[in-house]
Structure 1
Amino acid sequence: ARGLPLGEQPADPVEPGSVGCDCFETVPTPIADARVRPDAASLSKAGFELLRHQEALALPAPADFEQADSCKRWLCDELLPKTSELVRSAVQRSYGKDVIAVHAVDHTLQTVDSLGNDRRNNLVMEAHADFTCESVTRHLQGEHALFKLGDERPMDAIEGATLLVNLWQPLVEAVRRAPIAVCDVGSSHSDLVCRTAHSDGHPSEEGVSYVLQNDEQEWWYYKHMRKDEALIFLAWSPDGRMTAHSTVVDTTDRKDEPPRRSVEVCFAVKLAGGAAESAVEPQTKKPRCA
């Protein structure tokens, strides 16, 4: 995204029910393979981390994605119990604090067909973070957990610091089409620009943060992520840090590779003690909201 010069109007009107943004530009952006990164990325420092399942994750049959009952049963019996435990261990290790509760509060299934056409939800090809400073508070207050590990009370009733993290899970043997890329939070925090969604011409409770292009940003992805791997990244932390991310095109992959299937789960995590401290210098700027 880029900001509009003073006096310039958006090229397209903002339709009710859509998210308005000043302008999007397609800009070639270097994205490095984090598998060869000199220092392994950690959640508390870089805002993302590659995780590995200790116990194999059973994948649903492709047809199960189209059956609501089968899909919900797999989510509740297989995916969420295992990924909740994975998140608990990862956050506890990275922040060095006990985790009191992990609540799965949202999920998005994404599938494409053999031609690369979206079959479930749009693959978001714009760099963004999922919340704004305001929308995250409303999201936590209106929590409707799909699965709870640890303390089952509402998050706002549990003492301690709250994090929101996303877990991106491949649902194929290996991701060879449309992988996800993430931006190191230390290189992008001040480039987040908040935008409010509108419904019936009025601001809604939802919001998203888009990313101003900046050559200083460090973008990373894990090439050909496998089903025994998962990517955790910050959706929101108390100091306002949010990991920008986007679906991207790996130009080294063949176009006839198998379709991508994935699920992204948002978890609310409660840490014991005070605020969750990042392992980087405090940011001097907050995301700008409009």
Structure 2
Amino acid sequence: MSMDTMSTVTVTVPLRYADPDQPAGIFYAGQHAASSASFRTVDTTITNARPIASEFSLDVHGFALVKHQTAVRDFADEDEVKRVYTAELEELVKGATGAVKVVVFHTMARFEDGEKRGERQPARAAHADYDGPSFEVWIRRAMGAEADEWLAGRWSEINVWRGIRPVERVPLAVTDARTVGLDEYMSVPIHERPDEPQPFVGLNLMHDPKQRWYYFPDMQPDEALLFRLWDTDPAVPFPVAHSAIDDPTSRPDAAPRASVEARTVAFFG
């Protein structure tokens, strides 16, 4: 089926966007409740992309759903994640992009109500993580002196998102990057907590009716959602705005969402 014939398979959910009439504020990644970033809620139509999953690609839309089996048994085990998952993602992103080198520079798990236990919670606002200079900070921290040589060429930031268990509720929605311009993002400082400043600038999306949103319900642990957040090639579609959403089709007794995401950078020589 084509996207046109499937266009009526949608949900409408309240989604938080940056408020262009208010100051940008500050977003605290490790303490959402303390953030002063300004948002407005807009009822947003999001297409169920599951029946047309094969039609999406990183090079056309900025995102793609792929099959990917991981050997990680416990994503709470940082040593296992570094030892097993890092190598898996390097090969996955190389295969998906054609990159000659991939570096995994940030992996985190998110859980519903996670903040109460000192864990990350789903990010419930339309955003695209960081701007280009902020990603360069992350990359330099991960690569050290080696970074200069690789950053001189083309590079692309690719996120890899998956459920630790089946995602029965609070899935991740993503935009078709072709329908969103960089001028539709509001820059906002991102700190870890009020007492932990960081040199990062995030991108919160402002609403525009032409933006097109998609999601893949019931993602399984052997599936991964890849999406591009930055690229030094302006001809490539980016960034992909994304947000956790409350899927109205989820069962009332669905298991709370548990997911893991990894930020990677793909280098093309």
Could you state the TM-score of these two structures normalised by the residue count of structure 2?
0.79
- State the partner residue of 2:219: 225
- State the partner residue of 1:132: 131
- State the partner residue of 2:176: 184
Taking a change above 3 Å as real, the CA distance of residues 256 and 233 of structure 1, as seen in their structure-2 partners, is: same
- State the partner residue of 1:251: 248
SS of the equivalent of 1:110 reads strand
- State the partner residue of 1:95: none
User: 5 Å matches for 1:132-171?
Assistant: 132-143=131-142, 154-158=146-150, 160-171=153-164
How far residue 255 of structure 1 moved from its aligned partner, in angstroms, is: 2.6
Are 1:46 and 2:46 matched, yes or no?
no
The whole-number CA distance in structure 1 between the counterparts of 2:116 and 2:168 is 15
**Cα deviation 1:142-188 (Å, max 9, x = unaligned):** 3359xxxxxxx73332363111111002111x210111111111111
The whole-number CA distance in structure 2 between the counterparts of 1:141 and 1:219 is 32
SS of the equivalent of 1:30 reads strand
Are 1:90 and 2:96 matched, yes or no?
yes
**Cα deviation 1:187-226 (Å, max 9, x = unaligned):** 1123112112368799841111000011110001111111
The whole-number CA distance in structure 1 between the counterparts of 2:231 and 2:27 is 31
The whole-number CA distance in structure 2 between the counterparts of 1:258 and 1:38 is 24
SS of the equivalent of 1:125 reads coil
The whole-number CA distance in structure 1 between the counterparts of 2:60 and 2:116 is 33
The whole-number CA distance in structure 2 between the counterparts of 1:197 and 1:127 is 15
The whole-number CA distance in structure 1 between the counterparts of 2:121 and 2:245 is 13
Contact kept? 1:178, 1:247, Cα under 8 Å: yes
SS of the equivalent of 1:156 reads helix
Contact kept? 2:26, 2:190, Cα under 8 Å: no
Q: How many residues of Structure 1 are paired with residues of Structure 2 in the alignment?
A: 241
How far residue 237 of structure 1 moved from its aligned partner, in angstroms, is: 0.8
Contact kept? 1:20, 1:197, Cα under 8 Å: no
- State the partner residue of 1:211: 205
- State the partner residue of 1:111: 111
Contact kept? 1:140, 1:156, Cα under 8 Å: no
Contact kept? 1:43, 1:49, Cα under 8 Å: yes
Taking a change above 3 Å as real, the CA distance of residues 80 and 32 of structure 1, as seen in their structure-2 partners, is: same
The whole-number CA distance in structure 1 between the counterparts of 2:27 and 2:44 is 29
SS of the equivalent of 1:216 reads coil
How far residue 20 of structure 1 moved from its aligned partner, in angstroms, is: 4.6
Contact kept? 2:27, 2:190, Cα under 8 Å: no
How far residue 19 of structure 1 moved from its aligned partner, in angstroms, is: 5.5
The whole-number CA distance in structure 2 between the counterparts of 1:126 and 1:25 is 10
Identity %: 27
* 1:57 maps to amino acid: T
**Cα deviation 1:25-45 (Å, max 9, x = unaligned):** 121111111123387111121
Could you state the TM-score of these two structures normalised by the residue count of structure 1?
0.73
The whole-number CA distance in structure 1 between the counterparts of 2:200 and 2:36 is 12
SS of the equivalent of 1:255 reads coil
The whole-number CA distance in structure 1 between the counterparts of 2:81 and 2:174 is 25
Two-structure CA RMSD over aligned residues (Å): 3.0
The whole-number CA distance in structure 1 between the counterparts of 2:50 and 2:27 is 41
- State the partner residue of 1:75: 81
Unaligned runs of 5+ in 2: 1-17
Contact kept? 2:25, 2:188, Cα under 8 Å: no
